[in-house]
Amino acid sequence: MISGIQSSNNISMLQQTSQVRAPQCPAQEEASVQNPNDSVSFAPQTKLEKTLAATASRAAEIEANMAPHEPGEILVKTKPSLFKGADSIAERYGASLIEKFDMPSQMGVESADGELIHLKLPAGMTTAQAMAAMEKDGTIEYAVPNHVYQMEDFQQVGDTMTAEQLKNAQKMPNDLSDKMWDMHNVGQNGGTVDADIDAPEAWAKTTGLPNGQGPVIAMIDSGVDFNHPELRNNILVNQGEIPDNGIDDDGDGVVDNYWGYNAYSQNGDVMDHSGHGTHVAGTIAAEGNNGSGVVGINWTASLMPIRIFNDNGSTNAAAIIRGINYATSHGARITTNSWGGGGANEAIKEAFEKSHCLHMMSAGNTGTNNDVHPHYPSDYDLPNNLAVAATDRNDQLANFSCYGQKNVDIAAPGKDILSTVPGGKYAVYSGTSMATPHVTGAVGLLLAQDPTMSNDEIKERIMNGGDKLPQLDGKVASGARLNVNGSLEYQYQGNIAK
Ligand SMILES: [Ca+2]
Ligand SMILES: [Ca+2]
Ligand SMILES: [Ca+2]
Ligand SMILES: [Ca+2]
């Protein structure tokens, strides 16, 4: 039985949302998107007009291959050591500066880098026209669209439940529901015995570190219901900030960022209105063995909600970059990313790459091969990311899950997953969005066991410590499904190619 707010068909909904997204642009922009040459129909006079005329055919070529983006906007990376590059570039293109991204100090030597700026182009100039013109500009390293991305779709299975309704079917620990085949599969509900991540065996070694003492896990998602009784104690609040007083008490540039950061609206509102982020959070770290609800892979943890999506489940590159940079500059060690799309974006890739964090990324829900049809951010070839496919209760690749021998690293349970949803409730969801937080939770336990573990070691332990399955051979790089106990026991060799 399918119920709730989600479509009964993952695949069509994902395709639909990425293809028919309503343009958020004035009529003039829409017309120019359809025919970029229309907007420069006057005789070129100024230097800028001449440049646009000279690059018109290149602009048409870029336009033809353009993934969904915010119209009339562009992200520009200046060449290194360019004095006041941002202002002069904006002026030259008749654009206005929306923001200059702060590169947190942990990201490396600031002065050796160019600046990343976000521009609003003048009326009538399309993103493709600006990109074509900027290719010829010697002061610019790259210019990319402000791509828009969707939350990875997910499917609710059955009804939302109260804690009381759940209690009828519990096993050890005292809140391990028998619906949680992903943690401990004894063949219940038609599953296969031990097609699971061996969570009880892992919990004999560690159940995570107390809030504030272990690795900070940034959830770059739709926010979290921070009032959920299973999550509230595992969210790392910003102690320097007084909530809801309208003042940026800790002076970090964000007002009232107590529970986390809303990178889309640039404020402290991280309440989840979709269920997506709250479900992800519960898999990573619903409070464990507390006699209620469900159990997360980490019974205790330090979760950092970073909301990047608006209420329609959509976001753009600028918000994503702000979210990644916030995680990096506010002490996160891990990020989890259950979102994606088709637009490769150099600025997003660089934000991930320059962050010291290890980034978990969902492979996508179109059931396709990511080595043939790219999916981002999971396809970025970075030393510090892991891309995750989804399996079901019989250890088969889920029918909706994307895969890729080169671009997807590992599979994890992602079909029929029970976790927390807003309003203090629980629900079963399916999607690679649900698989990804299993790996994130496992990384949390690895770092609880050894806080000094490097990203390279974590990647090797996750990939080589999993259960190799013939049906995943050729589908994911490791050929394995996550086994958190196996990763905790695995001896590091230093042989996973970076
Ligand atoms: Ca098991
Ligand atoms: Ca603040
Ligand atoms: Ca405040
Ligand atoms: Ca619980």
400 alpha carbon to ligand 3 midpoint, in Å?
42
Q: Residue 377: what pLDDT?
A: 97
% of the chain beyond a pLDDT of 70: 86
Domain count, the chain: 2
The catalytic position among 32, 362, 433, 478 is 433
pLDDT above 50 (res 18)? no
In a domain, 211, yes or no: yes
Identify the pLDDT of residue 162. 81
Q: What is the CATH number of the domain that holds 397?
A: 3.40.50.200
Residue 19 lies in a domain: no
Query: Is 147 in the active site?
Result: no
Residue 214, domain member (yes or no): yes
CB 217 within 8 A of CB 440: yes
Active-site pick, 69, 184, 228, 276: 276
pLDDT of residue 21: 33
Pair 298, 403 in one domain:
yes
195, 183 contact by CB (below 8 A): no
Ligand found nearest the CA of 187: 1
Spacing, Cα 284 to ligand 4 middle (Å): 12
Average pLDDT over residues 154-169: 73
Q: Tell me, yes or no, whether 214 and 246 share the same domain.
A: yes
Per-residue pLDDT band at 176 (split at 50, 70, 90): very high
Task: Kindly state whether residue 40 falls inside one of the protein's structural domains.
Answer: yes
Residues 137 and 222 in one domain: no
Q: Is residue 11 part of a domain?
A: no
Last residue of a domain, one of 95, 119, 146: 146
Does residue 7 have an active-site annotation?
no
Helices (H) and strands (E) in the chain, counts: 14, 21
For the chain, give the mean pLDDT.
88
What is the dihedral angle through the alpha carbons of 364, 300, 321, 353, rounded to the nearest 10 degrees?
-80
User: Do 342 and 381 share a domain, yes or no?
Assistant: yes
Confidence of residue 191 (pLDDT cuts 50, 70, 90): very high
**Domain end residue (candidates: 103, 126, 146):** 146
Mean pLDDT of 28-46: 49
Ligand approaching nearest to the C-alpha of 254: 2
Find the 4 Cα to ligand 4 centroid distance in Å.
Answer: 23
Same domain, 45 and 188: no
pLDDT in tens, 53-79: 999 999 999 999 999 999 999 999 998
Distance 224 CA to ligand 4 centre (A): 16
Same domain, residue pair 104 and 199: no
Nearby residues for ligand 3 (ion, Cβ within 5 Å): 241-242, 245, 247, 249, 256
pLDDT tops 90 at residue 349: yes
Whether residues 170 and 111 fall in one domain: no
Q: Is residue 76 part of a domain?
A: yes
For range 79-87, the mean pLDDT: 70
Position 497 scores a pLDDT of 53
Lowest mean pLDDT among 14-18, 113-117, 321-325, 366-370: 14-18
What pLDDT was estimated at residue 343?
86
- Over residues 176-191, the mean pLDDT reads 95
| pLDDT for residue 490 is more than 50 | yes
Decide if 433 is catalytic.
yes
Evaluate if residue 110 carries a pLDDT over 90.
Answer: no
Q: Would you list the DSSP string of 408-433? A: --EEEE-SSEEEEETTTEEEEEESHH
pLDDT tens digits, one per residue of 203-258: 999 999 999 999 999 999 999 999 999 999 999 999 999 999 999 999 999 999 99
Q: pLDDT-derived band of residue 461, with 50, 70 and 90 as boundaries?
A: very high
- Reported confidence tier of residue 125, pLDDT bands at 50, 70, 90: very high
Task: Decide which of 96, 118, 146 is a domain's last residue.
Answer: 146
Q: What pLDDT does residue 86 have?
A: 74
Residue 228 Cα to ligand 3 midpoint, Å, equals 22
For residue 261, give the ligand nearest its CA.
Answer: 2
**β-bridge pairing 302-307 and 216-221:** parallel
N-to-C CA span, the chain: 43
Cα(425) to centroid(ligand 4), Å: 12
Given the structure tokens 């029929």, which residue do they identify? Answer: 416
Of the residues 221, 256, 395, 416, which is catalytic?
A: 221
One domain, residues 139 and 188 = no
Closest by CA to 161, choosing from 293, 1, 278, is 293
Answer yes or no: do 142 and 177 share one domain. no
The contacts of residue 451 (CB under 8 Å, 6+ apart) are 214, 215
pLDDT in tens, 417-450: 999 999 999 999 999 999 999 999 999 999 999 9
Question: Any idea what DSSP says for residue 456?
Answer: H
**Does 243 sit behind a cis peptide bond, omega within 30 degrees of 0 on the bond before it?**
no
Q: In the predicted model, is pLDDT for residue 131 greater than 70? A: yes
Structural domain boundaries enclosing 112: 26-67+69-146
What is the pLDDT at residue 37?
44
In whole angstroms, how large is the CA radius of gyration of the chain? 23
User: By C-alpha distance, which of 221, 219, 251 is closest to 238?
Assistant: 251
Q: What span, in angstroms and rounded, lies between the C-alpha atoms of 204 and 380?
A: 35
Task: Give the residue, 30 or 372, on which the prediction is more confident.
Answer: 372
Reported confidence tier of residue 81, pLDDT bands at 50, 70, 90: low
Mean pLDDT of 369-383: 97
Q: In this structure, is residue 9 part of a structural domain?
A: no
Cα separation, 352 vs 259, in Å, equals 23
Residues 114 and 212 both lie in one domain: no
Both 135 and 156 in one domain: the answer is no
Tell me what pLDDT residue 318 has: 97
Supply the pLDDT for residue 296: 98
Q: How far is the CA of 351 from the centre of ligand 4 (A)?
A: 34
Same domain, 185 and 124: no
Q: Is 124 within the bounds of a domain?
A: yes
Q: How many residues does the chain have?
A: 498
pTM of the complete model: 0.84
Average pLDDT over residues 396-421: 98
Q: Measured in angstroms, how far is the CA atom of residue 267 from the centroid of ligand 3?
A: 10
- 26 has pLDDT over 90: no
Number of the ligand closest to the Cα of 485: 1
Q: What is the model's pLDDT at position 106?
A: 44
